[in-house]
Chains A and B, each alone.
Chain A
Amino acid sequence: MALKNITKEYPGVRALDNVTISFERGEVHALIGENGAGKSTFIKTLSGAIRPTSGTIVFEGKEYSHLEPRQAIDLGIAVVYQELIQFEAMSVADNIFMGVAEHSGLVLNDRERREKARELLAQFDCDVDPAALVRDLSVANRQIVELTKAMVRSAKVVVMDEPTAAITMAEQEKLYEVVKRLKANGVTVIYISHRLEELFVICDRVSVLRDGQYVTTCDMKDLTKLDMVRLMVGRELSSGYPQKKPASDEVVLDVQHLSGNGVTDISFQLHRGEILGFAGLVGSGRTELMHVLYGAAKKQAGTVVLGGKEVHFHSPEEGLKAGIGLIPEDRKFQGCFIEKPIFWNISISALASIVNHTVVNRKKETALADDYKNRLKIKTPYLDQLTSGLSGGNQQKVVIAKALAALPDILIFDEPTRGIDVGARHEIYLLMNELAEGGKSILMVSSDMDELLGMSERIIVLHEGRKAGELTKEEFSQETVLACASGV
């Protein structure tokens, strides 16, 4: 199969410029590139979600100028999208089987479908109830549902867009198994990921896109991580995580025996200028803990002392006023006002600073947005561009700007770099260090082990809502963290 000379133009932007990539049967082919390089656009052309402006798709010898979704499915092309385009209000079973031809005719046998769904999900060690509604599932489970969809359709080509972005380490292992199994069955897998380490584990070849253009295709064994980064970015990038000055001894946040929203008896201290990492498996309660601290969830017991004074937050408004800022886990739905322009997003938490007696001062608003755009290097031609039109990395920067605009002392970063490319990640790490060195204190929740180990000064590990361990830099190691997280 090959995609030849694919060009896709949108008004004002050329997302893909004359890209040609070939794929062989039964190979696991990685596709890498920075955010905005055109990877998602490329695979959407393949799946029929988008029509290329020009170019051809060649599948098993036949040429097509473009594909309709129905065609792509019939040909055996299945895609697991990063954005999880699913039927929220329908059951897992319905989602899996939607569009799949029925054998039993018009009337559906729900029991049979649920049984089949259960079997398929079990392949991933997933015991979600097939009758459950998709919107009640965690992100990780929703991703597994997507994978199951691909299985059901006996695909010949399976495309995975950032499949491991939101799942735990244990589940990642299962995924790699699945990919290997697919390969063994002669299925071609196209694998997009920002986590370069995992590509070495499962992929045979890798193609690189940069700024909508095709760069090269190489065998995995001929490359190092540094090579890949260089190809993606087109320039040298210092490896590893930026170093920062150590934190002071001043305690800015003292949490004692905090319970609420699913977490129990959590105690820790946060120092000025410190980046405190929070590790744990999915469901261990890290995000829940952060929500209690911010005031977005109810505290049931325990004390929180902020800057020497005891505080009780009944709403995020109080948390915000007290100087805590949150960069939420799901930037699209919890972080941004996705259909609103950039400057609107940035100013929304800091309206007090830009209004004259409740009337918004446009000049001040634009100045504020401009300031943060420069400081955070948000890539956009106009400030009134809708946030939905930005790449993931830039969206995240907008969310950070929004939190910063309220001038907090403590920042909570929940999965700061999920789904963001290497280049943008590095910028965010630099930013976090800059903020910490400037006197702010950071609580960082992350499922990325490298990130945790590289950025935090101390790590607190949660397990099933309780504190399972606290590690200092000297004690850092993957094994220790994982052990604590698993409750060992």
Chain B
Amino acid sequence: MNAKKKMSVGEILGNLSMPILLLLLIVFFSIMTDKFFTPLNLTNILVQNVHVAVCACAVMIIMVSGGCDLSIGYQMSVAAVLVTKLISVHGWNPWLAILLGIALCSLLGTFNGFMGITLKSSTMIITLGTMAIFQGISYLISESKTFHKLPKSFMFLGQGKLFGWLPLNVVIMAVIVVIVAFVMSRTSIGRKVYAAGDNPEAARLAGLNVAKIKILSFTVAGVLVGIAAILLAARSGSADSSTGVGIEFTGITACVLSGVALKGGEGTLWKVIVAVFVLGVLANGMQLINLGTYPQFIAKGTIMLASLYLTNHNAKGI
């Protein structure tokens, strides 16, 4: 084996498959309609995907640690209805309610992680079960109602603009993404998460506390999910038990498209975020060019297959 491994053109392309795809889509839609590449529309795309990006961070952390969480959507639902109900119906201080919502979400996440370790079952199966539990909790709290009379201070989080043009929630998303990316790639904690997912036995023998690492991953993910829920509720100005439901599939899609391994131990956050925006640009652009619902589904599926091919074409095994 010699010196530094030179990357072949194919490998570099595989690495950059997501940004390239994003660029292609942007160019395509800009050509198809002049309404696409406008400041307003581009800001919209960012704003529409803030909660998706934050959730994708959570999904990525869990997947890298070797787990899978299908209950994220209902975690968001629980946090959203709890926070909005406390503020609008019970008159709580918004910050207190937000703190409680995030804390509850992290608890739900920890519960998932703990179940994963205790029941020794695949976390995908376990979260199928906890998903139903959280759904029940959400409906218990919301009683099927929508909560909407929210104060401006709360809505500012999701709709406010700094300096008149920079959406606050986009800034919050960017900060979160940078922090998570940094921790995962450049700190020993992040490294340990990759290790636990790549080969739990090797990690155990290297002296790592694998159980702790996995549970902690779920906890941190819970915090992120709680934040995402609040950002989404603030943007809509209201929330009900359907808020956030289904987000886990978008998150998992973005992760898988960008090369995060299902079995754990692999994945790069910035690629995941790019994948989130690939999906977001696609959804936005398809509406602007008036593509009907059914063709939209087909288009989305085709793009997904294409990006899978590009991402994994040069990888030795998935």
| B interface with A by C-beta (< 8 Å) | 1-5, 186-189, 191-192, 194-195, 198-199, 201-209, 261, 265-266, 316-317
Provide the residues of chain A in CB contact with B5, threshold 8 Å: 129, 131-132, 136
Beta-carbon nearest neighbor of A87 in chain B = B198
Asked whether A138 is an interface residue with its Cβ less than 8 Å from the other chain, the reply is yes
Assess the A108–B1 pair: CB atoms within 8 A: no
Asked whether A89 is an interface residue with its Cβ less than 8 Å from the other chain, the reply is yes
Asked whether A107 is an interface residue with its Cβ less than 8 Å from the other chain, the reply is yes
Beta-carbon nearest neighbor of A86 in chain B = B202
Assess the B4–A129 pair: CB atoms within 8 A: yes
Give the residue of A89, A99, A136 whose beta carbon is less than 8 angstroms from that of B198.
A89
Closest 8 CB pairs of A and B: A99-B206, A70-B207, A99-B207, A87-B198, A85-B202, A89-B266, A73-B207, A89-B265
Beta-carbon nearest neighbor of A138 in chain B = B1
Assess the A90–B194 pair: CB atoms within 8 A: yes
Assess the A107–B199 pair: CB atoms within 8 A: no
A430-B6 Cα distance, complex, nearest whole Å: 46
Assess the A107–B187 pair: CB atoms within 8 A: yes
Assess the B4–A137 pair: CB atoms within 8 A: no
Assess the A137–B1 pair: CB atoms within 8 A: yes
Asked whether A106 is an interface residue with its Cβ less than 8 Å from the other chain, the reply is yes
Provide the residues of chain A in CB contact with B192, threshold 8 Å: 98
> What's the nearest-Cβ distance from chain B to residue A211, in Å?
27
Provide the residues of chain B in CB contact with A85, threshold 8 Å: 199, 201-202, 205
Provide the residues of chain B in CB contact with A89, threshold 8 Å: 194, 198, 261, 265-266
Bitwise interface map of A from 30 to 49 toward B, beta carbon under 8 Å scored 1, else 0 = 00000000000000000111
Assess the B207–A90 pair: CB atoms within 8 A: no
Assess the A110–B202 pair: CB atoms within 8 A: no
A377-B205 Cα distance, complex, nearest whole Å: 35
Number of chain A interface residues as a range: 20 to 34
Assess the B1–A98 pair: CB atoms within 8 A: no
A127-B261 Cα distance, complex, nearest whole Å: 29
Provide the residues of chain A in CB contact with B187, threshold 8 Å: 106-108
Provide the residues of chain A in CB contact with B195, threshold 8 Å: 87, 90, 94, 98
Give the residue of B4, B188, B194, B199 whose beta carbon is less than 8 angstroms from that of A102.
B188
A70-B199 Cα distance, complex, nearest whole Å: 16
Assess the A107–B186 pair: CB atoms within 8 A: yes
Asked whether A69 is an interface residue with its Cβ less than 8 Å from the other chain, the reply is yes
Q: Which of A107-134 contact B (CB under 8 A)?
A: 107-108, 110, 126-129, 131-132
> What's the nearest-Cβ distance from chain A to residue B36, in Å?
38
Q: Which of A86-102 contact B (CB under 8 A)?
A: 86-90, 94, 98-99, 102
Asked whether A25 is an interface residue with its Cβ less than 8 Å from the other chain, the reply is no
Asked whether A340 is an interface residue with its Cβ less than 8 Å from the other chain, the reply is no
Assess the A98–B265 pair: CB atoms within 8 A: no
Asked whether A135 is an interface residue with its Cβ less than 8 Å from the other chain, the reply is yes
> What's the nearest-Cβ distance from chain A to residue B317, in Å?
8
Provide the residues of chain B in CB contact with A94, threshold 8 Å: 191, 194-195
Provide the residues of chain A in CB contact with B266, threshold 8 Å: 89
A130-B206 Cα distance, complex, nearest whole Å: 19
Assess the B206–A69 pair: CB atoms within 8 A: yes
Give the residue of B188, B199, B265, B316 whose beta carbon is less than 8 angstroms from that of A108.
B188
Task: Write 25 A-B pairs (CB below 8 A) sorted by A numbering.
Answer: A47-B205, A49-B204, A69-B206, A69-B207, A73-B207, A74-B207, A85-B199, A86-B199, A87-B203, A88-B199, A89-B265, A90-B191, A90-B194, A90-B265, A98-B191, A99-B208, A106-B189, A107-B187, A107-B188, A126-B1, A127-B3, A129-B4, A132-B1, A136-B316, A141-B1
A126-B3 Cα distance, complex, nearest whole Å: 10
Provide the residues of chain A in CB contact with B265, threshold 8 Å: 87-90
A137-B3 Cα distance, complex, nearest whole Å: 12
Other A-B contacts than A69-B206, A102-B188, A108-B187, 15 sampled, CB-CB below 8 A, are A73-B207, A85-B199, A87-B202, A88-B198, A89-B194, A89-B265, A90-B265, A98-B206, A99-B203, A99-B208, A108-B186, A108-B191, A128-B1, A131-B4, A132-B1
Provide the residues of chain B in CB contact with A48, threshold 8 Å: 205
A90-B203 Cα distance, complex, nearest whole Å: 12
Provide the residues of chain B in CB contact with A108, threshold 8 Å: 186-188, 191
> What's the nearest-Cβ distance from chain B to residue A471, in Å?
29
Also in contact, A129 and B203, with CB within 8 A (given A87-B265, A89-B261, A135-B316): no
> What's the nearest-Cβ distance from chain A to residue B237, in Å?
39
Assess the A127–B2 pair: CB atoms within 8 A: yes
Q: Which of A394-419 contact B (CB under 8 A)?
A: none
A98-B194 Cα distance, complex, nearest whole Å: 11
A129-B209 Cα distance, complex, nearest whole Å: 29
Also in contact, A90 and B198, with CB within 8 A (given A131-B4, A137-B1): yes
Beta-carbon nearest neighbor of A126 in chain B = B1
Provide the residues of chain A in CB contact with B208, threshold 8 Å: 98-99
Bitwise interface map of A from 60 to 87 toward B, beta carbon under 8 Å scored 1, else 0 = 0000000001100110000100000111
A74-B207 Cα distance, complex, nearest whole Å: 9
A138-B2 Cα distance, complex, nearest whole Å: 12
A91-B3 Cα distance, complex, nearest whole Å: 14
A108-B266 Cα distance, complex, nearest whole Å: 18
A141-B5 Cα distance, complex, nearest whole Å: 14
Provide the residues of chain A in CB contact with B206, threshold 8 Å: 69, 73, 98-99
A89-B2 Cα distance, complex, nearest whole Å: 19
Provide the residues of chain B in CB contact with A99, threshold 8 Å: 203, 206-208
